[in-house]
Amino acid sequence: MTTKNIINENKFFLGIDFGAKKIGISVGQLITKQASPLKIIFNNKNKINWDEIDKIIQEWKPDIIVVGYPYSNSKNTFIKLLDDFILNLTNKYINSIKIIKFSEVLSTEESRFLYSEIRKSEYNIGKKENLDDLSASIILQSWFNENMIT
C-alpha cells in the first residue's frame, strides 16, 4: 500500500471497527494526526445498517476510510462478512472515497485497557461492551502513527 500520495495532503478520515452486531466509527484528520471515537452503529439482525453509515459519511464527508482488518490465514464466517462489507463500501463510494484495509491487531485489547484507565479516572463512559468506537479510534490512530511523518 502506498501512502506517499496522501501524507502531504489535508484529508479527512473515518476509522471503522467492523462487527456483525456493531460497527465502531471514529474520525480523524491529517492536520492534527489524531483520531477520536465518534459513534457505535447497531446493526439489525446482523444486517448492516447502511442508512446510518451513509448518514455519517454524508455528514463528515471523509476522503479516506480506514477499516480494521484482522489478517489471518483462515477465511472464517466473520472474515467473509468483513470482506463483503469492504467490497460493498468500496463499490458504493468508488468515485469519492478511498477505502484502506489496516491491521486491527490488538485494537480490542487496547480499547479494553483504555476503558479501564478511563474508568479509574472517574470519567463518565458507557458500558464496557460498547468499545467499538474506541477500537475504531485506535485503528485509525495506529494507521496515522504507522503512515504519517511527524
What DSSP string runs through the chain? Answer: ---TTTTTS--EEEEEE--SSEEEEEEEETTTTEEEEEEEEEPBTTB--HHHHHHHHHHH--SEEEEEE---SS--HHHHHHHHHHHHHHHHTTTT-EEEEEE-TTHHHHHHHHHHHHHHTT-----TT--HHHHHHHHHHHHHHHH---
- State residue 2's pLDDT score: 45
Q: What is the pLDDT along the chain (150 residues), one digit of tens a residue?
A: 444 455 556 789 999 999 999 999 999 988 888 888 999 999 998 799 999 999 999 999 999 999 999 877 777 888 999 999 999 999 999 999 999 999 876 555 555 555 555 545 444 455 555 678 888 888 988 888 888 755
The pTM of the full predicted model, rounded to 2 decimals, is: 0.80
Kindly report the number of other CB atoms within 10 A of residue 36's CB atom.
16
The CA-based diameter of the chain, rounded to the nearest angstrom, is 45
pLDDT at 1: 45
Residue 5's contacts (CB-CB under 8 Å, 6 or more residues apart) are none
Cβ-based neighbour number of residue 119 at 10 Å: 12
Residue 16 is predicted with a pLDDT of 96
The full set of domains in the chain, from first to last, is 12-147 (3.30.420.140)
